[in-house]
Amino acid sequence: MTKQKVFSEKQLPQNIQSYLEEHVDLKVWDKSTQMPRELLLKEIKDVQGLITTGSAINEELLQQAPELKAVSTISVGYNHFDTEAMRKYKVIGTHTPYVLDDTVADLVMALMLSAARRIPELDAMTKRGEWKKGDDNPRFGVDVHHKKLGIIGMGRIGETIAKRGKNGFDMEVSYFNRSRKPEVEEKLHIEYKSKDDLLSESDFIVLMVPLSPETKHFIGEKEFKQMKNSAIFINASRGQTVDEQAMIEALQKGEILAAGLDVFEQEPVEPTNPLLTMKNVVTLPHIGSATAETRNAMAMLAAKNLVAALTGKGTYYSV
């Protein structure tokens, strides 16, 4: 039987490539740079499967890929999928939940600690040789332990962050979520709060909602004004869940103390973005899941998802 054709717009580790080659006729974009859209549209003309990381899977692409049966993204977020259009064209979408929860939660803790203890700012200062004898600047940060942590979005990653806050840092953890999760409250000893109460009472606010039309600018001017002036805001979800201009103003006016950001409204972030010059903002280039182990696990899961979706054998995580 002839193998189904799959195109991967992302280079894959050798073991994952070999796995795919056993099951499908694989072609891979052979550069480590982002594949230009017009080339992608050419490559997918006769394929049944596509492996992607963030390309828009929309009507434009689907029209050009009459044989496409499944698209597998190496990410848990799938806001780049137009799920309605995919349903219309009968294309299955798959993603990679679970395998990245701990890694993203670790990064959220790193952002909290870095912003609270001013790690990047003081690291840069030390490396510039500005720590001089007789210098008695205390360079105070703020404590993380025993503080109030408010998590917005209690999905799998939210839960994993709650565990770290509770068990690792003795924090008082509360959450806001579309729907209440009594079993999680009981298991982790965390409290449900309204969005307003969580925003006005938390010392650390972590945003962990998936991006959708409902969550675009979920945190904006009103929400920043509700936060304590001492609050530290962390976003490791998607940049567009926050009104970035409102966040810049809140930081400039001292309405919140600091922010830790792994994501931006526009990525890569514009070099002129004011957030990049603020000492009280820790910035990262969207690396929430970026450890070798986790990215490999995600790529393997994406490969298995795709093979299962194409062959109808085995299970896959559909979006």
- Binding site residues, ligand DGY, CB under 6 A: 75-77, 100, 288-289
Q: In the complex, what is the shortest distance from the CB of residue 89 to ligand DGY, in angstroms, rounded to a whole number?
A: 23
Residues in a beta bridge with 205: 150, 233
Active site residue 23: no
Q: Which two tokens stand for residue 244?
A: 């970035």
Q: Return the beta strands (E) in 61-211 as ranges.
A: 70-73, 92-94, 148-152, 172-176, 191-192, 204-207
CA–CA separation, 191 and 284 (whole Å): 30
- Three-class secondary structure of residue 197 per DSSP: helix
Catalytic-labelled residue, pool 238, 244, 265, 295: 238
Site of tokens 């994993």 = 160
Active site residue 286: yes
Active site residue 267: yes
Contact assessment for residue 25 and residue 3, using Cβ atoms and an 8 Å cutoff: yes
Residue 114 or 237 having the CB closest to ligand DGY: 237
Catalytic-labelled residue, pool 67, 267, 270, 293: 267
Element (H, E) at 303: helix 292-311
Closest CA to 105 of 285, 242, 294, 282: 294
Residue 118 or 295 having the CB closest to ligand DGY: 295
Residue 144 or 154 having the CB closest to ligand DGY: 154
* Cis peptide upstream of residue 138 (ω within 30 degrees of 0): no
Contact assessment for residue 316 and residue 148, using Cβ atoms and an 8 Å cutoff: no
Residue 151 or 190 having the CB closest to ligand DGY: 151
Q: In the complex, what is the shortest distance from the CB of residue 153 to ligand DGY, in angstroms, rounded to a whole number?
A: 13
Which phi and psi (to 5°) does residue 99 adopt? -70, -15
Q: Terminus-to-terminus CA distance in the chain, angstroms?
A: 29
Catalytic-labelled residue, pool 80, 156, 217, 286: 286
Residue 4 or 289 having the CB closest to ligand DGY: 289
Catalytic positions:
238, 267, 286
